[in-house]
Amino acid sequence: MGQLGDLDLLHAATVAGRPVRSPASARSRPHASRLLRGPAPARRFGVAVRIVPSVLPVDFAHLGEAVARLDAAGADRLQWDAMDGQFVPNLTFGPDVIAAARPHAGCGFEAHLMCERPEELFERYVDAGCELIIVHPESLRQPHAALRQIRELGAGAGLALSPGTPVAFAEPVLDLLDLVLVMTVNPGFGGQPYLVSMEAKVARTRELIDGSGREIALEVDGGIGPDTIAGAAAAGADVFVAGTSLWRAASLAEGIEDLRARAEAARTAR
């Protein structure tokens, strides 16, 4: 991708009507749970459809430009996969990288922490500009305390369920969650094929959320594209993390809108 100058980046981040923001922490903003929802059309279940591009497949040499382009294309927020090389075998974004990218986008940021001892990093990722922090239960020594810590920092709290993690792990902490993420690939690397078998898990998670009486977003991540998003949406997902597939579309804006339309159609038909 070509490199943009400062004025081009400013235009790109405002073309969707969202001004460039300074990298102020989520603690200076309204509680992040509000940012997960926003105005929503009539719907059968859950929150409105949200398309969340992953930053993982972008050209890291032009990170600011890529973030601005995704924001301008209509991303509802961006996902940063934070991997430490221990909890999963890959190594990716630290909080300083996210803080450097924060001024280039007006949409929200979520951090998916795939790391050991994530409690030690919550404050740094919130201060870097992430309004939503998603963690894996296997990495938490005290899940209730960890999720409370995230919320006390002013961020939304999410729990990620890997393919081998039972849905039951979310039940004891539902009252502390703004989002449940069902992984539709094994975490660690982008570009993996979608696991169709996880749609049954999405459906079980939807039943758990609906039974709680709380408005908790249900996100899916892994292999989401034009051929797979309808199945995840029909199973009950609200929020869809898309990576590689978006960069294969004719344009980022068309890719995002195509995914949104497919998800909304599948939910209506459910």
81 annotated ligand binder = yes
Between CA 251 and CA 234 the distance in angstroms is 26
Q: Residue 239 phi/psi, 5° resolution? A: -120, 135
Residue entry with tokens 């059968």? 44
DSSP 114: E
Query: Long-range contacts for 55-59 (Cβ within 8 Å, ≥24 apart)?
Result: 55/79, 55/80, 55/81, 55/93, 55/101, 56/81, 56/92, 56/190, 56/243, 57/190, 57/191, 57/243, 57/244, 57/247, 58/247, 59/1
5 is in an annotated binding site: no
**Helix extents (H) in the chain:** 6-14, 63-72, 95-101, 122-127, 143-152, 198-212, 229-235, 244-247, 252-269
Specify whether 221 is catalytic.
Answer: yes
Q: Which of 71, 84, 178, 221 is catalytic?
A: 221
**Is 74 annotated as belonging to a binding site?**
no
144 annotated to a ligand binding site: no
Residue 227 annotated as binding? Answer: no
- The one-character DSSP state at 157 is E
| 244 marked as part of a ligand binding site | yes
In the chain, DSSP finds a helix count (H) and a strand count (E) of: 9, 8
The active-site residue, picked from 81, 84, 127, 238, is 81
- Does residue 164 have a known ligand-binding role? no
Is 104 annotated for ligand binding? no
List Cα–Cα distances, 72 to 16, 28, 55, 76, in angstroms. Answer: 5, 24, 14, 10
Query: Is 221 annotated in some ligand binding site?
Result: yes
76 is catalytic: no
Annotated binding residue 213? no
| φ, ψ at 231 (rounded to 5°) | -65, -40
Is 94 within any annotated ligand binding site?
A: no
Annotated binding residues, as ranges?
Answer: 54, 81, 112, 188-191, 221, 223, 243-244
Q: List residues with catalytic annotation.
A: 81, 221
Annotated binding residues for substrate, as ranges?
Answer: 54, 112, 188-191, 223, 243-244
